[in-house]
Structure formats: structure tokens, C-alpha cells
Amino acid sequence: MAAREIRLIGDPVLRTRSNEVTDVDGALARLCDEMFETMYEAAGIGLAAPQVGVRQRFFVYDHGEDGGVIVNPEIVESDGEWAFDEGCLSVPDLSFEIVRPRRIHLVGIDLDGHEISIEADELEARLFQHELDHLDGVLIVDHLDEDQLREAKRALRERTLAAGMAAPAGGGLRLF
Ligand code: ZN
């Protein structure tokens, strides 16, 4: 088992819609083990397959109170609004306050092929929505208003100039 390289913004794999998983098998389970290791190493609480270069619809997560693997996830209901300072392992050193639904109902299957149904709110709901975005080729920069987008572009330019000098993630920031 080895940690995998996390793909960063600019990599086309992060911008394509991933395919439904058709085989929930041992190979998928091994890949999930590697993704957990990668996520923990990066101090993230969620990681979607495209972030390690795999165009398939599943993600791993562990937000402290619960964790697991969700394959072919779908949001079947959402309501409310919640603003949260959101960071992404594929968009290093940046975070933005993004408003999304506060509560969602997520369905999918687990690694045994059993159906999953989770009513999530706040951080967990945020995490699931963020990972779903990854499976659709969407990144946090797509949720920004004009001012936030300007700030993001400047920061990304500076980061390109300072490539190789990545700062450690800020204290307390949640990264998915
Ligand atoms: Zn992310």
C-alpha cells in the first residue's frame, strides 16, 4: 500500500466527469486503501478518485466522527444554506467561504455493494457535496464570486511563481 500523488488544479483529470463504477471488487478496495493513506498523509478529511487520477465515481472520507467509502454517490435531497471556509487538497494553500445547502440526503453503495443512505448536515454535508463536485469535474474556484475569483487567480499565479515552496496547510482548515 502506498500513498498516491494528489493531482492539482490545472490537471485535466480534475475537469472531466467521472464514470459510474461498474465493478465493486478487490481492485477498488485496494485503491481505496491507497486513497485513505494519501488522504491521511495530506491531513485531509475527504478524497475523491479523480484527485489521484482515477476517473471513477467514488470517494473516501473520514471527518473524525465517521468515515468510509461511497461508490456512485448521488444527492437526492438538499435544503438550507450554510457558509463555510472550504479548502481543497487539489487547490493548495487557498480557502474560500462558500455557501452551499446545509443538509443533504446522500445515497450510494459501499465496498460490499450494499446500499448506503445518509442524512448529513453541516461539515459532513459539505464534505459530501465537495466530493460530488470532484466527480463532476467541478472545483471550489467554480463557486467563487468575482472578488474571490480575482483573489484566487492572483494567489494561483503567485503559487506558480513560488512552485516548490508550498506552505503547510493553515491550522484548523478542513481540506477535502
Ligand atoms: Zn477537493
Q: DSSP letters along 128-151, please?
A: HHHHHHHHTT--GGGG--HHHHHH
For the chain, the domains span 12-79+101-140
**Ligand 1 mean position to 26 CA, how many Å?**
25
Q: Which amino acid is at 17?
A: R
Q: What is the pLDDT along the chain (176 residues), one digit of tens a residue?
A: 688 999 999 999 999 999 999 999 999 999 999 999 999 999 999 999 999 999 999 999 999 999 999 999 999 999 999 999 999 999 988 899 999 999 999 999 999 999 999 999 999 999 999 999 999 999 999 999 999 989 888 888 887 776 655 555 556 788 89
**Ligand 1 mean position to 158 CA, how many Å?**
20
Paired sense of beta strands 46-48 and 67-79, if any: unpaired
**Ligand 1 mean position to 175 CA, how many Å?**
7
**Ligand 1 mean position to 115 CA, how many Å?**
24
**Ligand 1 mean position to 46 CA, how many Å?**
8
Bridge partners (DSSP) of residue 107 are 74, 117
Q: Which amino acid is at 119?
A: E
pTM above 0.75, yes or no: yes
For residue 68, the 8-state DSSP code is: E
pLDDT tens digit sequence for 147-169: 998 988 888 888 777 665 555 55
**Which residues are known catalytic residues?**
131
Superfamily of domain 12-79+101-140: Peptide deformylase (3.90.45.10)
pLDDT tens digit sequence for 18-40: 999 999 999 999 999 999 999 99
